[in-house]
């Protein structure tokens, strides 16, 4: 596990702390106003906190002890977060729905994803996951995203870009770079390579068909709109939301 998710989890928490109000409102609507929601791979808990703000009972699970600490600090008594592997967990209860945003599942191998979907299906019948899909014909090498975020005295410059995409092996190498521009750690730079799974529409479809879930819809979360548009099952893009229902 990289430093971005462990020793430098505070930098992650600042870098990805943009407004998700509209997104969570949409998720609540898609899940049918759930009373309880699970987030596998919850990180520092910003999405759990947004659900809790709307009166939803929340629970999360993450493999990073530092992320769990940050999530507990953020949630207080408003939710439950536990340390664990999202490919092998049992919380001993069920939830009205589950969510997994911003390509968290790309960190899993296909074998781990299969185990994860089995585990999640034992906890909920409705799962919304955000997983980007690529294909050979339309793939345009990702030049990268660049943005700045700040909290208090700390201001960050963040870059995230593709280094390599191997269609045959289904592997994506991505590079992240975070520079602290101001604050107590000014001048610190964290640059890492992340080895992730690259999913194509056909390989993703096969993975879901082999799982306890079926995919009932796909939405383009990369379009700025009050409600993200539904797209076809062969759509590609980096911010696709997949609506999964347990068979």
Domain residue limits, the chain: 3-134+200-246, 145-197
pLDDT of residue 148: 96
pLDDT digits (tens, 9 = 90+) for 199-225: 999 999 999 999 999 999 999 988 766
pLDDT of residue 202: 96
pTM for this one?
A: 0.94
In order of 131, 144, 176, 229, the CA distances from 169 in angstroms are 18, 22, 22, 31
Residue in the block written with tokens 């700040």: 150
DSSP label of 222: T
Question: 12: pLDDT confidence band, cut at 50, 70 and 90?
Answer: very high
pLDDT of residue 145: 85
pLDDT over 70 (residue 143): no
Q: What is the mean pLDDT of residues 89-113?
A: 97
pLDDT of residue 1: 80
DSSP label of 95: B
pLDDT of residue 61: 98
Q: How far apart are CA 71 and CA 46, in angstroms?
A: 7
pLDDT of residue 220: 93
Question: 40: pLDDT confidence band, cut at 50, 70 and 90?
Answer: very high
pLDDT of residue 25: 95
Q: How far apart are CA 43 and CA 235, in angstroms?
A: 27
pLDDT over 70 (residue 54): yes
pLDDT over 90 (residue 91): yes
Candidates 1.10.8, 2.60.40, 2.20.130, 3.40.50; CATH matching 145-197: 2.20.130
Q: How far apart are CA 127 and CA 116, in angstroms?
A: 12
**What fold characterizes domain 3-134+200-246?**
Rossmann fold (3.40.50)
pLDDT over 70 (residue 226): no
pLDDT digits (tens, 9 = 90+) for 165-183: 899 999 999 999 999 999 9
Q: What is the mean pLDDT of residues 126-132?
A: 97
pLDDT of residue 137: 78
Bridge partners for 215 per DSSP? 244
Mean pLDDT estimate for the chain? 94
Residue in the block written with tokens 């208090």: 152
Q: What is the mean pLDDT of residues 121-137?
A: 94
Hey, do 3-134+200-246 and 145-197 end up sharing a CATH topology, with the first three levels equal? no
pLDDT of residue 118: 98
pLDDT over 70 (residue 2): yes
């Amino acid at each position: 596990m990289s430093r971005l998710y462990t020793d430098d989890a505070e930098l992650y928490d600042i870098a990805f702390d943009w407004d998700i109000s509209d997104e969570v409102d949409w998720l609540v609507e898609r899940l049918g106003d759930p009373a309880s929601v699970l987030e596998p791979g919850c990180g520092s808990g910003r999405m759990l906190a947004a659900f809790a703000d709307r009166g939803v009972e929340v629970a999360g699970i993450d493999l990073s002890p530092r992320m769990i600490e940050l999530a507990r600090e953020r949630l207080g008594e408003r939710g439950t977060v536990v340390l664990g592997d999202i490919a092998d967990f049992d919380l001993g209860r069920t939830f009205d729905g589950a969510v997994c945003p911003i390509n968290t599942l790309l960190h899993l191998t296909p074998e781990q994803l299969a185990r994860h979907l089995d585990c999640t299906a034992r906890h909920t019948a409705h799962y919304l996951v955000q997983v980007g899909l690529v294909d050979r014909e339309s793939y345009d090498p990702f030049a990268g995203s660049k943005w700045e975020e700040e909290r208090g005295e700390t201001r960050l410059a963040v870059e995230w870009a593709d280094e390599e995409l191997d269609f045959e092996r289904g592997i994506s190498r991505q590079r992240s770079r975070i520079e602290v521009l101001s604050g107590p750690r000014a001048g610190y730079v964290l640059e890492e390579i992340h080895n992730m799974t690259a999913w194509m529409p056909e390989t993703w479809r096969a993975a879901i068909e082999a799982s306890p879930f079926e995919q009932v819809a796909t939405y383009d979360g990369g379009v700025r709109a009050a409600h993200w548009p539904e797209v076809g099952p062969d759509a590609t893009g980096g911010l696709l939301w997949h609506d999964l229902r347990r068979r």
